[in-house]
Structure 1
Amino acid sequence: MGMFERVLVANRGEIAVRVIRTLKRLGIRAIAVYSDADADAPHVALADEAVRIGPAAAAESYLDPARIVRAALETGAQAIHPGYGFLSENAAFGRACAEAGIVFIGPGELALEVMGDKIRAKRHVEASGVPVVPGVSEPDATDDELLDAAPHVGFPILVKPSAGGGGKGMQVARDQGELEHALPAARRVARAAFGDDTLLLERFVERPRHIEVQVLADAHGNVIHLGERECSLQRRHQKVVEEAPSPLLDAATRERIGAAACDAARSVEYLGAGTVEFLVSDAAPDEFFFIEMNTRLQVEHPVTELVTGVDLVEQQLRIAAGEPLAIAQGDVRLTGHAIEARVYAESPERGFLPATGELLAWRPAAGEGVRVDSGVRAGQHVTADYDPMIAKVIAHGADRAEALDRLDAALADTLLLGVDTNIAFLRTLLAHPDVRAGHLDTGLIDRLPEGGAAGATPVPADAATDAPTTDAAPDPLERVAHDARERDARAAAVGDHAWRSAREWRIGSGGGTAASGPVADLDRASVATAADGTVWVHLDGRTGSFARPDRRAALDARLAQLERGGSADPDLRAPMPGSVTTLLVADGDRVEAGQGVLAIEAMKMEHRVTATVAGVARLRVAVGEQVARDQVVARIDHVTEPAAASPAASGTEPIDGPHEGAVVTASHQE
């Protein structure tokens, strides 16, 4: 067949940028696709050609096979690289590509169909001798049949929906009684999220490690593995930090688990790059169990690339073009250690809810052993349309300790102003003694205290940020914000239009230093002011946001609190920007404290807004309305007598998904 001349990348964000870079290095013409929300995105600018495929909604753009195939045909693309998420594991999309005479850069239909169903995949690999977790995987099993089989599996038991992923609908039952309640709840979530309420049971492994093996397989019968990745640092089943190799496995276990992964790939005639995931007990690291196979590139693939020196996207392209693997198993060498942290636009202090806004300043870290995969630019708006990942920061070192140190330094040096992120949380996590020692398991993050969810330092609008405290040394971030406001005010007074139009500036870099404060610190600060007057500051590895002080609003809020005797605020505010999907009560209904009032959807999840006090609900929004973060969406008027709870109008339930109290409604990205 020969190497491709034109390849379309059916994705967006950092993975599209990453694939396009390899295409251009190989001299292949890169064709991007974009929705209306991504018209000026970096992946569009980087590509040789770009095709609009629809509006912002993923279902009408990136998730529409017909639009993607049509774009490929119109531009003469010989192949389509799906990246990860979206259509990357969609068997119907693979068939549509084949019917159009376009090469799908991924596995064949057998692998997509078998590995796309957890029950079928488990049975299939078990028949090939791959160890699996004890459990029950009968597709038509009723709740009663699952309850009868549970004692043979052994408690604790993990209840899992067969369809979908990302931990949605998973529940742990430690005895028969808990299982009786878990089964119907898991079915409801699975039916709502995936349209399929089939469940399977598995033995729940205490303190489990999540180990995955990277495999490559060509059309000539060659299958190899490139070592393993440790992905145990997860938050509610969502990976947060990944590394290669695992600090748990010894050489003998690495060889055994790698061979098992290759056996799983051979069993479905695998083609291309794939990942076989295993569960390994921290207490018995020589024992491992197959979980599933991801038939695509993984988000965390850079750590494997850094320790092996193999460009996985290049290997995907060569395999899809019919070339035999040029790498034998004996050629694979793991050199040093690599660790990746996923940077998300989210608010850890708000339960990791996604955040939106304009990226006022963006400067990725650099330095020896540091790699940053991103798909954003300064001035770009982070919207609620897609996954909130901003970038992946990866560090490579001679050993694990050096890699950890380099990653922490890279995160500290990452300048990102205008949107809340999890960077501070990531640095706190990397400094945890168990993480430093390599004592990991999938529940470690969820066991952290609430204080561990550090993020940017937000200061509410009623804080006196226009006058730093004098009874104690002010926080350097607050001092910088104060001086920024003073300079902005002086510039406005003298008509300095150039200064007022500047969105991001650095004290001491061409604009002079501030008149007050410790100059040695302020010279290193970066500052940006948002359209709403919020001042964002980055200094010495920390980021803070300082809202414009509104003394009148602060006074009104304090008076209102005094009037209600210090009780909770009756105004219900949107915890994140998004769209109102459901009204759980009608205007004028009486509700109890804690009762759901409405639901808001954004970035693959639905969040319930609940009543803070008992009273009469007064709705301020309608279904379908777009709301901003902290916008008042309802108010609960106080009543003296007890209120009877109104029946809920929605069947959605909070689950252990990516964010607390959130129900995932779609799966666009990994």
Structure 2
Amino acid sequence: MFSTVLVANRGEIAVRVIRTLRELGVRSVAVFSDADADARHVREADTAVRIGPAPAAESYLSVERLLDAARRTGAEAVHPGYGFLAENAGFAQACAEAGLVFIGPPAPAISLMGDKIRAKETVAAAGVPVVPGSSGSGLTDAQLASAARDIGMPVLLKPSAGGGGKGMRLVREEALLADEIAAARREARASFGDDTLLVERWIDRPRHIEIQVLADGHGNVVHLGERECSLQRRHQKIIEEAPSVLLDEATRAAMGEAAVQAARSCGYVGAGTVEFIVPGSDPSSYYFMEMNTRLQVEHPVTELITGLDLVEWQLRVASGEQLPYSQADITLTGHAVEARVCAEDPARGFLPSGGTVLALHEPQGGGVRTDSGLSEGVPVGSTYDPMLSKVIAYGPDRATALRRLRAALADTVVLGVPTNAGFLRRLLAHPAVAAGDLDTGLVEREAEGLVPDGVPEEVYAAAALLRQPSPAPPAGWVDPFSVPSGWRLGGTPAETFHHFRVPGHEPVRVGLRTGAGGTAALTFGHAGDREESADTCGPLPSLPGAERSRLVEADGRRVVVELDGLTHTFSLASSPEGVWLGRDGDAWHVQDHDPVEASLGGAGRSGVDTLAAPMPGTVTVVKVAVGDEVVAGQSLLVVEAMKMEHVISAPHAGTVTELDVTAGATVAMDQILAVVAPKEES
């Protein structure tokens, strides 16, 4: 076994690898960019080395800086995690040439399976069924479009390099092919440095099932069962489970053997995953999609049902050990489900989010495991992938695992950074998910109904109660008429007013009257209302409550509000910008609001003509200039954050009168990008 291993990654996977290194008594070396100087993986490693500024190209993607860090710390091996250089054959080869063991497959296997076109040809020759699609590498845009027309719409555009759904585009209309090919190339080039594309037939309502394989350097290859990864959004997996309810034992064995043959066909060594697309109506008709030549994000579910530590076996195989078991020794026990918690805001169309982690609670134990790179006080920016942590639950059966995962997500608090935890909890409760009736389009079809409409009034209630702290108990007797609580004998308590704004929603004014026994009477109205009387404060349609809430408990960190017979618990943390509230896996940022300052788009420039950044990120493409005439829906700019592109389109026909950014500019959320004056009617 090695004595020192450098972990060439960041975030939760770096923390995960470091944990196993510690258990094996192996010294761990973390690397970090300037953006990660205070990150959790840096603190948990035995030693850490700065490798450059925040941009990944100058730090985590720099082969020279990683090799230098390994040399300076005496590392014998490098664990690449996933993402960044994990599937980069050049990095694997550079490690070998520097005398370092790359904890992964040989460079030729990475190169072969990293080229999806060559990979399909290789496994097909080994008898593995593949998805019909284009043939040949380096196709031009015109050749790709022609292949798509020959296959027949709809088709799926896929980068030949990389994985993880980055750059994949489902195209249903032939007229959109040119724009989608251009967009897929941009994303592929940004994510993998290679914009080579292929096109495949789209299989309607498919299921995504993958097989975990493990191979040593002595010719032994086994599979560790399958994982169901059909719950996806924008081709990104968000829920994974093992085993799949779709497969019977015969199909499981056949797919497992196909995965083993795929691994043998490229001389694979280490842990890897063979991915299949499976028609839900006919599980026996499965097709090879690709092979991920690395550890997968969802590897914990396989660990829980097999009892094997995959990181440990990556290390043992890389150090030359032989697998001590055959296929007959592998057994699958129980069920495990994983949810990916990401820095994104479902209420804003799942746009990437960011901020500083003000308070953090991540469940562990009782059949629950959380793999995380988070810690309190650490900022989450838009430079890297949005995944923050993974919550995994295990049970003797699927129903138990799902129930435990829903409870764990409800117990997850990441205050300061909006996440998708609440959305995932609601998704897991969806009847189709509970029944195991899955396909890769289910999330997209049901997403709108899984995002709460409007801001729950208990959010405003908790914020008002936090802004109305109880006075410290007096040392002795105090004249009740001298206490500024609003209490008067036989009278109505005075009402105090608080103004709040949640991004994307109208400003709201909350009137609060507190009484004996922790009661709290609340009224809601528009923040622009100047009258300070409950009688003239008309309720908003989405906030009908008045005198229906009761404060159960408030201790500075927690507020419990009873509303309409339901009890809601909030975790609280204050910041200079306002108050963050966490509720059952949902995060709310409620900010003090001046009713006079009603503009959301900047001083004097709000309105439908103004285009603002929907998320913090980088402007990658600017397609217009001041003075250009545009049509409604025309693409004007592209903003990229956390490896996701968002197109900024013209809200109506008109003229670009302002353009405040250039390509490469870093922008904040809600920053003004452009103004389009409407076309005058003739």
TM band (smaller chain): 0.7 to 0.9
Distance in 2 between the 1:622 and 1:97 partners? 38
Distance in 2 between the 1:392 and 1:607 partners? 25
Alpha carbons of 1:9 and 1:434: their partners in 2 closer, same or farther (altered >3 Å)?
Answer: same
1:525 aligns with 2:577: no
Aligned to 2:433, the other structure's residue is in SS state helix
What letter is aligned with 1:272?
A: G
- In the alignment, which residue of structure 1 is the partner of 2:57? 59
Aligned 8 A contact 1:160 1:186 in 2 = no
Aligned 8 A contact 2:463 2:590 in 1 = yes
TM value normalised by structure 1 = 0.83
- In the alignment, which residue of structure 2 is the partner of 1:441? 439
- In the alignment, which residue of structure 1 is the partner of 2:497? none
Aligned 8 A contact 2:561 2:567 in 1 = no
Give 1:529 shift: 2.1
- In the alignment, which residue of structure 1 is the partner of 2:460? 478
- In the alignment, which residue of structure 2 is the partner of 1:190? 185
- For 1:619, which of 650, 659, 663 is the aligned residue? 659
1:277 aligns with 2:259: no
Distance in 2 between the 1:261 and 1:512 partners? 50
Which has the higher Rg, Structure 1 or Structure 2?
Answer: 2
Alpha carbons of 1:627 and 1:145: their partners in 2 closer, same or farther (altered >3 Å)?
Answer: closer
Query: Any gaps of 5 or more consecutive residues in structure 1?
Result: 460-473, 495-505, 643-670
Residues 497-508 of structure 1: matches in 2 within 5 Å?
A: 508=553
Query: Any gaps of 5 or more consecutive residues in structure 2?
Result: 474-482, 484-550
Give 1:517 shift: 6.8
CA deviations 1:263-318 (Å, max 9, x no partner) are 11111111100000111110111121111110000000000001101000000000
CA deviations 1:11-44 (Å, max 9, x no partner) are 0000000000000000000110000011110101
Identical-residue share of aligned pairs (%) = 57
- In the alignment, which residue of structure 1 is the partner of 2:37? 39
Residues 424-463 of structure 1: matches in 2 within 5 Å?
A: 424-448=422-446, 450-454=448-452
Give 1:120 shift: 0.2
What letter is aligned with 2:648?
A: V
Distance in 2 between the 1:397 and 1:21 partners? 23
- In the alignment, which residue of structure 2 is the partner of 1:538? 582
What letter is aligned with 2:570?
A: A
Alpha carbons of 1:271 and 1:627: their partners in 2 closer, same or farther (altered >3 Å)?
Answer: same
Distance in 2 between the 1:426 and 1:243 partners? 14
CA deviations 1:64-121 (Å, max 9, x no partner) are 1111011001100000000000111111101110111000000012211110101100
Aligned to 1:525, the other structure's residue is in SS state strand
Q: Which has the higher strand share?
A: 2
Distance in 2 between the 1:127 and 1:400 partners? 37
- In the alignment, which residue of structure 2 is the partner of 1:252? 250
Give 1:514 shift: 7.4
Distance in 2 between the 1:153 and 1:40 partners? 50
- For 1:602, which of 638, 641, 645 is the aligned residue? 641
Alpha carbons of 1:293 and 1:512: their partners in 2 closer, same or farther (altered >3 Å)?
Answer: closer
What letter is aligned with 2:575?
A: A
Identify which of structures 1 and 2 has the higher relative contact order when contacts are C-alpha pairs closer than 8 Å and 6+ apart: 1
- In the alignment, which residue of structure 1 is the partner of 2:548? none
Distance in 2 between the 1:583 and 1:133 partners? 36
- In the alignment, which residue of structure 1 is the partner of 2:617? 578
Give 1:369 shift: 0.6
Aligned 8 A contact 2:271 2:294 in 1 = yes
Aligned residues: 602
Alpha carbons of 1:390 and 1:160: their partners in 2 closer, same or farther (altered >3 Å)?
Answer: closer
Give 1:609 shift: 2.5
- In the alignment, which residue of structure 1 is the partner of 2:671? 631
- In the alignment, which residue of structure 1 is the partner of 2:514? none
Distance in 2 between the 1:512 and 1:217 partners? 50
Distance in 2 between the 1:146 and 1:616 partners? 34
Give 1:599 shift: 3.2
1:364 aligns with 2:358: no
What letter is aligned with 1:345?
A: A
Distance in 1 between the 2:602 and 2:344 partners? 29
Residues 389-404 of structure 1: matches in 2 within 5 Å?
A: 389-404=387-402
CA deviations 1:351-395 (Å, max 9, x no partner) are 211001111111102341100000010111001110111110100
Aligned to 2:598, the other structure's residue is in SS state helix
Residues 63-462 of structure 1: matches in 2 within 5 Å?
A: 63-139=61-137, 157-172=155-170, 178-179=173-174, 182=177, 185-186=180-181, 189-190=184-185, 193-194=188-189, 198-448=196-446, 450-454=448-452
Alpha carbons of 1:356 and 1:323: their partners in 2 closer, same or farther (altered >3 Å)?
Answer: same
